[in-house]
Amino acid sequence: MTHPAQPKASHFINGEYVEDTAGTPIPVIYAATGEQIATVYAATPAIVEQALSTAKEAQKAWAKMTGTERGRILRRAADIMRERNHELSVLETYDTGKPLQETLVADATSGADALEYFGGLAGSLTGEHIPMGEDWVYTVREALGLCVGIGAWNYPTQIACWKGAPALACGNSMVFKPSETTPLCALKVAEILLEAGAPAGIYNVIQGMGEVGGALVTDPRVDKVSLTGSVPTGKKVYAAAAAGMKHVTMELGGKSPLIIFDDADIDNAVGGAINGNFYSSGQVCSNGTRVFVQKGIKEKFLARLAERTGNAILGDPMDEATSFGPMVTVNQMNIVLGYIEKGKEEGARVVCGGARADMPGYYIQPTVFADVTDDMTIAREEIFGPVMSVLDFETEEEVVARANDTEFGLSAGVFTNDFSRAHRVIGQLEAGSCFINSYNDAPVEAPFGGVKASGVGRENSKEAIKHFSQVKSVYVRMGDVEAAF
């Protein structure tokens, strides 16, 4: 019997499911059991061509609609996503292994937020009038054209919407390629957009590995590329896009600092560290994985952290009581276990966890290392798993310098009850998405993205509009033209 997660076909192009079994088969594995639940096929050159040509064609009429009309469709899609939240959350859990407890509140719901927010903005995208004496200049905010979205595997529904919603609101079309690891959810986003009234071809989804992404990025018809992925992939995709002088948004990895001063509320700080390291089993780009704790409260902090981490419920992700799921793949599990071994070898102290969980599926125990120093591998490299490194510090000046001593710059957080210090410290941290007495909130209203190697451009908020549109300026002369000859 076919598993309920199996999609009707691998790709969604020009308003319908399309199959081409000549492509490389991609097995979809449920991370909680290791069982294969579905198969899709990587896009062949013919599929890539269909996706790009139909999206290119559909964009012209879409851009001619009023923003209000486009917005209405996006808002209808948001309503449909909310009505189907349960079904979509179950699919997200099959795709990623994340527990239903999370997916019910964080995935289709945040995708719907993006569709609703950008749907609401679509009708208000205007230019300006610039008086020049008798003459004037006016500006027009125009769509870029055909955009490509390429997703990572940790938030397949959310990423498909965070890229699609602002792109479509501005009058662009999109071809979206999910990660080969999580190919299922974006197909549902495409289906729902069509059902909400989006013209066929305006949002196509095709499957594949890096080479399909590469074919999309280098196609001369593509005007913009928005990638969520790792820094090495980001560098490749950015370079390929640059060769075609395309616009880019790069949402890449991080090794973000979370700084806890000795006057902080310990339970809130522990809660922030848990949210910033163990949500989605640590597979979150903005995680605060370098937790700097001021020396005076270190042992108290670690004791409370170990106690609360012990309350994590590892188990069947479909059981709503489960609060901690598996790694997305066996490969990702092995990468993370390798980092845990490295942490032990390099002399960090295991406070809790530190091994694979003794159960089927790709589960790793939530792991806390203390006595971590800046030069250890676990403090320098992005692990993308449930591994928290706790480092000690003494002074504000010292911790700011150490927090910034990284190639990454995605996020940063500070816990303190001294608000002057909170703002002073955040002001000096080199990061794009910051938190005071909180961690990892990502509402659609707030810009999201990184500095340094963590990325270029911003998603969400009005900032995203700037990255999915361009401004045309028109000078209007009322009098005669003066010329030298």
Least separation in angstroms between CB 311 and ligand NDP:
26
Place of tokens 């809790």: 352
Least separation in angstroms between CB 397 and ligand NDP:
29
Q: Give, as one character, the DSSP assignment of residue 281.
A: G
Closer Cβ to ligand NDP, 210 or 447, answer by number: 210
Place of tokens 């188990």: 315
Q: In this structure, what token pair is assigned to residue 235? A: 């560098």
The C-alpha atoms of residue 321 and residue 89 are separated, in whole angstroms, by 15
Residues that bind ligand NDP (CB under 6 A): 150-154, 177, 179-180, 209-210, 213-214, 217, 227-230, 233, 236-237, 251-254, 285, 382, 384, 410, 450, 455
Least separation in angstroms between CB 96 and ligand NDP:
11
DSSP bridge pairs for 163: none
CA 320 to chain CA centroid, nearest Å:
24
**Considering only CA atoms, which of 74, 87, 66 is closest in space to residue 192?**
74
The C-alpha atoms of residue 338 and residue 385 are separated, in whole angstroms, by 11
Closer Cβ to ligand NDP, 70 or 163, answer by number: 163
Locate all alpha helices (DSSP H) within 97-198, ordered by sequence: 100-106, 108-122, 156-169, 185-195
What is the number of alpha carbons within 13 Å of residue 228 lying toward its C-beta?
27
Least separation in angstroms between CB 476 and ligand NDP:
41
Closer Cβ to ligand NDP, 23 or 71, answer by number: 23
**Considering only CA atoms, which of 83, 149, 65, 81 is closest in space to residue 114?**
81
Closer Cβ to ligand NDP, 99 or 149, answer by number: 149
Q: In this structure, what token pair is assigned to residue 277? A: 């390291």
Least separation in angstroms between CB 109 and ligand NDP:
17
Active site residues: 163, 251, 285, 459
Cβ-count burial of 59 within 10 angstroms (0-12 exposed, 13-18 middle, 19+ buried)? buried
The C-alpha atoms of residue 421 and residue 299 are separated, in whole angstroms, by 23
Least separation in angstroms between CB 41 and ligand NDP:
13
Closer Cβ to ligand NDP, 194 or 222, answer by number: 222
Q: In this structure, what token pair is assigned to residue 356? A: 């694979």
Closer Cβ to ligand NDP, 89 or 283, answer by number: 283
The C-alpha atoms of residue 238 and residue 247 are separated, in whole angstroms, by 9
